[in-house]
């Protein structure tokens, strides 16, 4: 690392320390610009084994950046000074599929059998799109990305199965082609789109009514472009109703020391 | 080169020798499978200079694989034993924009000021699509690819200007995304699509009525995908009506010793 990348990685650590001290408890979009942010799923060891096989079989919705050892709160490949129990602004704690609390740390409910999964997030490829001059509609609108359940089944593994959830960004055809090229370079953060242009054919009846997030306007000269979405594993887990589970609260991601550019496959 | 690539390159030379002896005078599709075939434009030196600048400014419709020295009929980078005056099955000779003959060689009209351009052809990327299991509709139909004049202007250079001509292949959205990835690897044979999904927005009023080639059926679950087309330079030259010009006859290409796979940028 040179001085500049050191400084930038450091921005990730500084934000985590601010979050750890509960000095920040909100959504992480825009924090430590250029650093990879990750979705978080924390499961007891038995379920974690099934979940890892599910992720392996469904890498587009579920691209695993790193997995911890059971009980270990550290992610050494994502950040040297990183504690998954304290470094996310807000968590969701689930028991038997019910949301029981939204704490700012999970020290008091931590268990020795918990395995944590850091899962790639679209923030990384959106940065690459914006960097290339492509407008990302929900960012321009200041809303959440629209997400839809599709009729595309995930490959089941153990107790986990369910439909693919996709996020949608409307793009002019020329930008859609460019977006395929750009996001193909980022397989660990959902990669290339899974569909574009014909939402009905993947089971989306009304593009104006997303299942999660907010609707965005689509121009007559634009196509809806769909990427596999990190909400897929959350929806699949919700269906299984595990006895215990921790996730990040929506938008409150784990900020890592990795740079988005370092995820580029090319 | 190992023995297998030698043998394959050799297939190009063998077909050229057969063509040179006028033992073959038809379309070259399917000959020397896997070898690069090229569009041919032969212009007097002055126009050739303008044309090379036009090609440089419009690499997607006009990807130049090789240019000869004035008067020289050889393309050493495309094949050791290659004579552009005899090795194309059928030529078109143009004077002041009028088609005056369609000979099987151009030895008798050859001039010392002629510069030859070998221009990449979609056969190369179509092979890569088919290799990946993607149906190319006009091949399945046994017809010519449908081509359309668009409202997208080429960048002018010297006397050359005109609209971009595109070829169209209908694809399921999933295959369209894969086709963007595959053809992006082949910038010297038109590269990634220039458009998909909304033909009206690039000035195509009726997708069922191509300006060149034959219409193909488009399924309700398919999008029309458009690539920049090598007919663009021919249409632009036709408009200029040069005092003298030679091209290949439609479908009768120059077969080279290069392998399509060798054009892949990645």
Q: What is the pLDDT of residues B164-173, one digit of tens each?
A: 999 999 999 9
Q: Residue ranges of chain A with pLDDT lower than 70? A: 1-9
Say if strands B114-120 and A98-101 run parallel, antiparallel, or are unpaired. Answer: unpaired
pLDDT of residue A266: 82
- Chain A residues whose CB is inside 8 A of the B223 CB are 196-198
Residue A153 burial (CB count, 10 A): 11
Residue to substitute from A166, A172, A173, interface B, most B β-carbons within 10 A? A173
Tell me if B201 and A221 make a contact (CB, 8 A cut-off): yes
Residue ranges per structural domain of chain B: 3-122+236-261, 125-233
The CATH superfamily assigned to A3-122+234-260 is PSTPO5379-like (3.40.1640.10)
Would you identify the CATH topology of the domain B3-122+236-261? Answer: PSTPO5379-like (3.40.1640)
Q: How many CB atoms lie within 10 A of CB A7?
A: 10
CATH superfamily, domain at A136-232: PSTPO5379-like domain (3.30.2040.10)
B221 shares contact with chain A (CB less than 8 Å):
yes
Model pLDDT, residue B1? 46
Residue of B nearest to A194 (CA): B174
Shortest Cα–Cα distance, B258 to chain A (Å):
25
Cα dihedral value B164, B169, B173, B177, nearest 10: -60
Q: What is the DSSP letter of A212?
A: B
Instruction: Mutation target for B interface from A132, A150, A176, A177: give the one with most B CBs within 10 A.
Output: A177
Q: What share of chain A is helix, strand, coil (3-state, %, to 5)?
A: 30, 25, 45
Q: What pLDDT sits at residue A3?
A: 58
Q: Give this prediction's pTM.
A: 0.90
Does domain B125-233 match CATH 3.30.2040.10?
Answer: yes
Q: How many residues does chain A have?
A: 266
Indicate the residue of A173, A180, A193 with minimum beta-carbon distance to B197.
A173
Contact: B194, A177; criterion CB under 8 Å: yes
Rg (CA), chain B: 18
Chain A residues whose CB is inside 8 A of the B196 CB are 173, 176-177, 196-197, 223
- DSSP 3-state assignment of A236? helix
> A252, A30 in Cβ contact below 8 A?
no
Tokens 């379309």 sit on residue:
B27
> Rg of chain A's alpha carbons, rounded to an integer?
18
Query: CB distance B173–A266 less than 8 Å?
Result: no
Instruction: Give pLDDT, residue A1.
Output: 46
- Taking the Cβ of residue A181 and every Cβ of chain B, the question of whether any pair is shorter than 8 Å is answered with yes
Q: Which residues of chain B have pLDDT under 70?
A: 1-9
- Closest-CA residue of A relative to B221 is A201
State residue B266's pLDDT score. 82
Q: Which long-range contacts (CB under 8 A, 24 or more apart) does B150-153 make?
A: B150/B195, B150/B202, B150/B203, B150/B204, B150/B226, B151/B202, B151/B203, B152/B194, B152/B202, B152/B203
**Residue B138 contacts residue B216 (beta carbons within 8 Å):** yes
- DSSP string covering chain B: --HHHHHHHHHHHHHHHHHHTTS--S--TTSSTTEEEEEEEEEEHHHHHHHHHHHHH-TTT--EEEEPPTT----TTT-SS--TTTSSS-EEEEETTEEEE--S--GGG--TTEEEEEEE-THHHHHHHHHTT---HHHHHTSPPPEEEEEEEPPPBTTB--EEEEEEEEE-HHHHHHHHHHHHT-GGGT-S-SEES-GGGGT-S-TTS-SBS------TT-EEEEEE-THHHHHHHHHH--SSEEEEPTT-PEEEEEEGGGG---
Look at residue A59 in the predicted model and tell me its pLDDT: 95
Give pLDDT tens digits for B17-54.
999 998 999 999 989 999 999 999 999 999 999 999 99
With CB atoms and an 8 Å threshold, state whether A173 touches B201.
yes
The chain A residue lying nearest B196, using CA atoms, is A173
């Amino acid at each position: 690392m040179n001085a500049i990348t050191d400084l930038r990685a450091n921005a990730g650590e500084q934000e985590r320390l601010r979050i750890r001290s509960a000095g920040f408890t909100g959504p992480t979009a825009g924090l430590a610009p250029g650093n990879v942010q990750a979705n978080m799923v924390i499961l007891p060891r038995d379920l974690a084994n099934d979940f890892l096989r599910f992720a392996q079989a469904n890498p587009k919705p579920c691209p695993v950046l790193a997995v911890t050892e059971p009980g270990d709160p550290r992610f050494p490949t994502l950040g040297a000074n990183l504690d998954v129990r304290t470094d996310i602004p807000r968590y969701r704690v689930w028991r038997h599929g019910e949301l029981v609390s939204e704490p700012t740390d999970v020290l008091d409910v931590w268990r020795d059998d918990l395995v944590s999964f850091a899962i790639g997030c679209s923030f990384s490829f959106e940065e690459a799109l914006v960097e290339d001059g492509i407008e990302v509609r929900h960012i321009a609108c200041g809303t959440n990305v629209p997400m839809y359940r599709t009729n595309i089944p995930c490959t089941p593994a153990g107790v986990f199965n369910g439909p693919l959830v996709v996020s949608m960004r409307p793009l002019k055809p020329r930008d859609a082609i460019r977006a395929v090229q750009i996001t193909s370079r980022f397989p660990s953060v959902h990669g290339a789109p899974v569909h574009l242009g014909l939402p009905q054919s993947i089971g989306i009846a009304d593009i104006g009514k997303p299942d999660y997030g907010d609707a965005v306007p689509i121009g007559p000269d634009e196509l809806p472009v769909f990427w596999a979405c990190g909400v897929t594993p959350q929806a699949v887990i919700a269906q299984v109703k595990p006895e215990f589970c921790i996730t990040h609260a929506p938008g409150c991601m784990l900020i890592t020391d990795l740079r988005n550019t370092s995820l580029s496959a090319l």
